[in-house]
């Protein structure tokens, strides 16, 4: 009967809505009803997210048609480094306007994804030849300081190395113990892409190893050396790179280096060649088959059909 058909249709529609809600909760389906990225025919709503003081957000903007075949320029803040690199590479292959799309993509990720670090060391142990952490500075993508503390080494200081480190006995009065500083710093670095110059020295001082695919060492970047007109295999200092590429002077005077300034400079250098750097990194990654959820050519509507849903998930969604 018509009433029976209507009731059956209503139940099917309820299951459809319940499954869509589950996908939205898992972050696999946007409120507009598309999985991850939109299909080429779908429109893109350009918007800017503004964060108020109370933590709420507002969306402003106008709707604009999305060119055919274009990949969405936004990435999840939880995206892995290889996903970021591949995303940059895809955007770079999409024409003259790609650089602005790469910047748009990175703006979504950078606030919590990129940091730069620099450490200053003092000498401990026999004849002060052992390097231990005495100051650590961490800045975000914009160069704002997120951490800057003096650290008391585990062994007695033999050589303050003030000419280079800028550390004096006075700084150690309010310094925090190494173990406490290490815990605070590693919490900041966790799951981040970390930029630095000769960054292995900083990690060694922290007694820490950061994943290679999440590390960007400006002393080892061929892109930076090429841009500065220096040999690829040359050992280049942060001071020289800053002078050649940023036209600024750092590490001047006899009061020692500033770990904040050095971290900010490393981040500036990374940002200068970020697109090329990430493109080369993406090309060096092994090929990976496309996921149906992230493939822009996939038709997301099919994943709401019964045959794509496990029995246990269907039961939990109703």
pTM: 0.60
Check residue 59 and give its pLDDT: 44
Cβ contacts of 168 within 8 Å, gap of 6 or more: 160, 162
**What integer pLDDT is reported at residue 14 of this predicted model?**
80
The residues spanned by each domain of the chain are: 111-284
Q: What is the CATH number of domain 111-284?
A: 3.30.420.10
Question: Over the chain (318 residues), what is each successive 10-residue block's mean pLDDT?
Answer: 58 79 70 46 39 43 46 52 59 50 48 87 94 96 96 96 91 96 96 95 96 94 91 90 90 79 95 91 68 47 50 52
Query: What is the structure's pLDDT at 259?
Result: 93
């Amino acid at each position: 009967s018509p009433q029976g058909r209507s009731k059956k249709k209503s139940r099917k529609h309820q299951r459809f809505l319940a499954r869509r809600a589950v996908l939205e909760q898992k972050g696999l389906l946007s409120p507009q009803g598309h999985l991850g990225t939109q299909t080429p025919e779908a429109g893109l709503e350009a918007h800017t997210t503004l964060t108020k003081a109370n933590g709420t957000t507002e969306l402003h903007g106008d709707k604009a048609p999305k060119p055919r075949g274009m990949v969405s320029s936004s990435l999840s803040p939880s995206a892995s480094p290889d996903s970021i690199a591949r995303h940059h590479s895809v955007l770079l292959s999409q024409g003259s306007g790609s650089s602005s799309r790469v910047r748009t993509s990175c703006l979504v990720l950078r606030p919590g994804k990129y940091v730069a670090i620099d450490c200053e060391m003092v000498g401990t142990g026999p004849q002060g030849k052992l390097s231990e952490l005495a100051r650590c500075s961490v800045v975000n993508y914009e160069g704002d300081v997120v951490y800057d503390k003096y650290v008391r080494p585990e062994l007695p200081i033999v050589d303050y190395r003030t000419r280079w480190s800028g550390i004096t006995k006075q700084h150690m009065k309010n310094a925090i113990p190494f173990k406490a500083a290490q815990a605070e710093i590693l919490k900041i670095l966790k799951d981040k892409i970390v930029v630095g110059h000769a960054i292995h020295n900083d990690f060694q001082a922290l007694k820490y190893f950061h994943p290679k695919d999440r590390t960007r060492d400006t002393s080892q970047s061929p892109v930076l050396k090429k841009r500065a007109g220096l040999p690829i295999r040359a050992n280049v200092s942060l001071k020289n790179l800053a002078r050649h590429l940023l036209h600024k002077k750092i590490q001047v005077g006899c009061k020692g280096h500033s770990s904040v300034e050095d971290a900010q400079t490393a981040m500036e250098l990374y940002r200068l060649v970020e697109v090329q750097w990430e493109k080369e990194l993406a090309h060096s990654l092994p090929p990976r088959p496309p996921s149906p959820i992230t493939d822009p050519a996939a038709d997301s509507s099919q994943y709401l059909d019964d045959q794509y849903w496990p029995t246990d998930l269907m039961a939990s969604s109703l």
